[in-house]
Amino acid sequence: MSKKIGILTSGGDCAGLNAVIRAVVHAAHQKGWETLGILDGTAGLLKEEPEYRILTPDAFDGTILRMGGTILGTTNKGDPFHFPMKDGTFKDRSAEIIENCHKLGLDAIVAIGGDGSHAILRKLAQQGGVPMVGIPKTIDNDIGETEASVGFDTAVMVATEALDRLQPTAASHDRVMILEVMGRDAGHIALAAGIAGGADIILIPEIDYSIGNVVKKIEAVKQEGRNFALMVVSEAVKTPEGEQVHTTDSDGKKLYGGIGHYLSKEISKRNKVDTRVTVLGHVQRGSPPTYNDRLIASAFGVYAVDLIAAGKFDRMVAWKNRKVVDVAIEQAIAAYQAVDPSDTMVHTARGIGISFGDQG
Ligand code: F6P
């Protein structure tokens, strides 16, 4: 039976989103279905006339697969259940979205998002919206029930390449280079890039550290005869006293950021070493996707269409044991995935001499 499906990207962008959209459009087209690309996530459904574009395989001319960002646009602001109005109040605008989904005649929605977006879109589906399937994407890699989320691999590659570029200049100037990476409350990017990029110290929110231990590691590196050190710190790492370091966006919203500079000052107070800080920021999101992100994006997109064809909804596609499976969205949201300090990669890092600042 012919279907009309909607697809949207929601939350922060990342590399690989266009590869997902492409896969969904191709797979849906093969079934004779129509795909509407909703613009700007839920924001496109909050307009009086829903904003969308019809997507057909010929829209994917060979360049889009390679592009970072999302051709549909996205937003990580404006929860429709608690929507910030111009007068400073909040309003539940979920009914408008639900009405617009029906106005478009959608049989199902493919939502590409992180845990927050999955929670919102699931609630909309439950409250009378159209049935949905979810596709996990986030550079933070913190969505439960899946071993991979679209965008993480690329973010790690960018952070690793940053370390590759910092190492020669660190060695030329006898410096300690501090690289602050994203990841929100999970240290996955810092951990993976730190190992792959040859860091001496990795600080992540999941492992408590002391400045004393960090300084000891820097001194140990020097004593071994090396004139530089590389350190990766995850943006949500707190000060040893437990204070969150943050910055603000143009609306005054608190964002993580600044721990790298804090650490630089604290290290310099105790040790005469020359430090420099690089805050990698959104560069981790905008790069062309790695081959691996393109592969999982494609596999997720095709499988999401299979789920709709089978009438299986309220499910998120997931990567487990080398293949795509589907899990209950509720379960995936509940199983938030931070770094487990007993994880193989933490053990690996320690095994190659990397310090987490927790041991002297
Ligand atoms: O969740 C993805 C992420 O890139 C985080 O790692 C980061 O803290 C946040 O989004 C940045 O958000 P924004 O795009 O609003 O600056």
Give the residue ranges of DSSP H helices in 6-114: 17-30, 94-103
Distance, CA of 150 to CA of 122 (rounded, Å)? 19
Does 18 share its domain with 138? yes
Does 134 share its domain with 163? no
- Per-residue CA distances from 237 to 14, 307, 340, 341 (Å): 22, 39, 15, 14
CA of 184 to the centre of ligand 1 (A): 7
Ligand 1 pocket member 315 (CB < 6 A):
no
Q: Which atom of ligand 1 is nearest to the CA of 189?
A: 6
- Residue 208 forms part of a structural domain: yes
Please answer whether residues 260 and 178 qualify as being in contact, where contact means their C-beta atoms are separated by less than 8 angstroms. Answer: yes
> Choosing from 13, 40, 79, 140, which is the catalytic residue?
140
Does 234 share its domain with 274? yes
CA of 58 to the centre of ligand 1 (A): 32
Q: DSSP string of 71-83?
A: TT---S---GGGE
Greatest extent of the chain over all pairs of C-alpha atoms, in Å: 71
Domain count, the chain: 2
Structure tokens that stand for 205 in this block: 């929110």
In this prediction, residues 324-340 reach a mean pLDDT of: 97
CA of 359 to the centre of ligand 1 (A): 30
Q: Which atom of ligand 1 is nearest to the CA of 257?
A: 8
Length of the chain: 360
- Residue 326 forms part of a structural domain: no
Does 65 share its domain with 158? no
Angle between helices 211-223 and 259-270 (to 10 degrees): 60
Does 197 share its domain with 346? yes
Does 76 share its domain with 214? no
pLDDT in tens, 157-216: 999 999 999 999 999 999 999 999 999 999 999 999 999 999 999 999 999 999 999 999
Distance, CA of 211 to CA of 80 (rounded, Å)? 42
CATH number, residue 220: 3.40.50.460
* The predicted structure's pLDDT at residue 83: 95
Structure tokens that stand for 350 in this block: 């320690």
CA of 211 to the centre of ligand 1 (A): 26
How many other β-carbons are positioned within 10 Å of the β-carbon of residue 276? 15
CATH number, residue 14: 3.40.50.450
Does 212 share its domain with 126? no
pLDDT in tens, 241-284: 999 999 998 888 899 999 999 999 999 999 889 999 999 999 99
* The predicted structure's pLDDT at residue 118: 96
pLDDT in tens, 106-164: 999 999 999 999 999 999 999 998 999 999 999 999 999 999 999 999 999 999 999 99
Ligand 1 pocket member 76 (CB < 6 A):
yes
- Please state the pTM of the whole predicted model: 0.97
pLDDT in tens, 54-113: 999 999 888 999 999 999 999 998 899 999 999 999 999 999 999 999 999 999 999 999
* The predicted structure's pLDDT at residue 78: 85
Residue 32: φ, ψ to 5°: 80, 20
Ligand 1 pocket member 256 (CB < 6 A):
yes
- Residue 328 forms part of a structural domain: no
Whether residue 140 lies in the annotated active site: yes
Q: Whose CA is nearest to atom 2 of ligand 1?
A: 12
Helix, strand, or coil (residue 343) = coil
DSSP run (H or E) holding 36: strand 34-38
- Residue 56 forms part of a structural domain: yes
Helix, strand, or coil (residue 16) = coil
Task: Report the phi/psi class of residue 78: left, alpha or beta, with left for phi > 0 and alpha for psi in -120 to 50.
Answer: left
User: Given a cut of 80, is residue 1 above it in pLDDT?
Assistant: no
Please answer whether residues 333 and 181 qualify as being in contact, where contact means their C-beta atoms are separated by less than 8 angstroms. Answer: no
Q: Among candidates 150, 101, 136, which has minimal Cα distance to 331?
A: 136
- Residue 251 forms part of a structural domain: yes
- Residue 336 forms part of a structural domain: no
> For residue 315, what are the domain limits?
4-150+289-320
Does 185 share its domain with 141? no
Q: Whose CA is nearest to atom 12 of ligand 1?
A: 12
Does 244 share its domain with 313? no
